[in-house]
Structure formats: structure tokens, C-alpha cells
Amino acid sequence: MIQTQTFHKKNFQFLCDRLASKDADLKSILKQYGYPPLWSRKLGFETMVHIILEQQVSLASAKAALNKLKEKIGLVTPKKLLALSDGELKSCYFSRQKIIYTRCLAEAITEKRLSLRCLADKTEEEIRESLISIKGIGHWTVDVFLMMVLHRTDLFPTGDIALMNSTKHCKQLPTHTSKEEILSIAENWRPYRSVATFMLWHAYIKRKNIRF
């Protein structure tokens, strides 16, 4: 088994404090909003479907689609999802693209081209290569999986609009600030950029009063 850095209940707040001690703007987030939740999801097919559903839509919309699917089939498995027609998936609020993407994932698992359980023991690069080979899974989806499921410590998903906007707000940056400039700032948070991401997401959710 590979040795990887992870965050968990016992060290999460300590890592938040460690980042806050190095960055006054992150410290102000803790002072204003408190510690972020330790967002965590179970390793499995349902979680991957959930993350795919969250691509480019609100968290509430994705959750509504997942809940509708669970109402229809109960336990979300690749076999059950593949048994549904386009119309049945559309009735669960799946867009045409999300139907294709979740089916491609289900097929990869049923055909044993992908084992989600085995990913936990792989390096970030190996996980990224395995998942991105599936149609509809890009770097943002992999980043969220690595952070929320495997709790790897050093992810910073530049494809996440909320994270980019929260970083700009936190650092009082112009709206036209590039991803490269933001990545340069995030270098100061290594090797705990995932924890910084959670702090910045927390600030964004609180500031926007988002419910999901």
C-alpha cells in the first residue's frame, strides 16, 4: 500500500489552524465563520454518480437528482442504473450528458475495467489516469473524489468556480485574476491545499447563504 497524506477528524482542525497561522486571510475565515465541515463521502458507485451530477450545476440540483434516482431504484448500483431507460433517467432530472456519463461509469465497473475499491491504494496520478479514461470524468471530478472520498491533502481544483471566486474574495483580487495567479497564491498552502479549499468553500457557502 502506498503512503499518502490524508486528513481526518483527529487532524482536520489542527491543519486548519496550521494554515491560519501562515495566512492571515485564511485566519480571518476561521474567525468569521468557524471551522469548515469535514465533508466526507463513502467510496462507491453512488458517490461517483453524485459527483458527476454536481458537474456545472448547483449542489441542490445535483442532490435532488440523486434523491430522485434513489427513490426510483433504492440502492444505486451500476446494474440498476444501466437497466433504466433514457426516459426514466430524465424523470430523475438527469440531463442527456449526465445520462451518458453515468452509464459510461456503470459500464466500466460492470465490465471490470474500473474498480473503485482498488483506487484507495493507488497514487493520485494512477487514480487520475484511471478515472479520466471514463467519458465524462475530468480533473474537477477527480479532484473532488480525492478530497471528499479519499481525503488526500493537496488538491486545489482550479475548475471549481466557487473556489476561484472565494479565493479572489478572500485575497481581495480583481475579478479578472487568472487561474495561474491563483495557483501561485495556493502554492503557499502546500501540502494542505485540500484543507484550504474546504476553508474557502466554507466561506463561500456562508457568505452566499447557500443551502443544500
3 — pLDDT class (breaks 50, 70, 90): low
Let me know if residue 6 belongs to a domain: no
Let me know if residue 188 belongs to a domain: yes
> CATH code at 53?
1.10.340.30
Q: Are residues 61 and 121 in the same domain?
A: yes
Q: Are residues 73 and 117 in the same domain?
A: yes
Let me know if residue 75 belongs to a domain: yes
Let me know if residue 19 belongs to a domain: yes
Q: Are residues 49 and 124 in the same domain?
A: yes
Q: Are residues 97 and 172 in the same domain?
A: no
* pLDDT given for residue 1 in this prediction: 44
Average pLDDT, the chain: 96
Domain range for 186:
12-39+155-208
* pLDDT given for residue 8 in this prediction: 96
Q: Are residues 125 and 57 in the same domain?
A: yes
* pLDDT given for residue 186 in this prediction: 98
Interval 87-119: pLDDT, tens: 999 999 999 999 999 999 999 999 999 999 999
Q: Are residues 133 and 88 in the same domain?
A: yes
Decide if pLDDT at 74 tops 90: yes
Section 9-38 average pLDDT: 98
Last residue of a domain, one of 95, 110, 138: 138
> CATH code at 191?
1.10.1670.40
Q: Are residues 120 and 189 in the same domain?
A: no
Let me know if residue 3 belongs to a domain: no
Q: Are residues 62 and 111 in the same domain?
A: yes
Percent of the chain clearing pLDDT 90 (strictly above): 96
Interval 136-160: pLDDT, tens: 999 999 999 999 999 999 999 999 9
SS (H, E, C) the chain: CCCCCECCCCCHHHHHHHHHHHCHHHHHHHHHHCCCCCCCCCCCHHHHHHHHHCCCCCHHHHHHHHHHHHHHHCCCCHHHHHCCCHHHHHCCCCCHHHHHHHHHHHHHHHCCCCCHHHHCCCCHHHHHHHHHCCCCCCHHHHHHHHHHCCCECCCCCCCCHHHHHHHHHHHCCCCCCCHHHHHHHHHHHCCCHHHHHHHHHHHHHHHHCCCC
Q: Are residues 51 and 129 in the same domain?
A: yes
Q: Are residues 62 and 119 in the same domain?
A: yes
Q: Are residues 89 and 129 in the same domain?
A: yes
Compute the distance between CA of residue 120 and CA of residue 185 in angstroms, rounded to an integer.
29
Let me know if residue 149 belongs to a domain: no
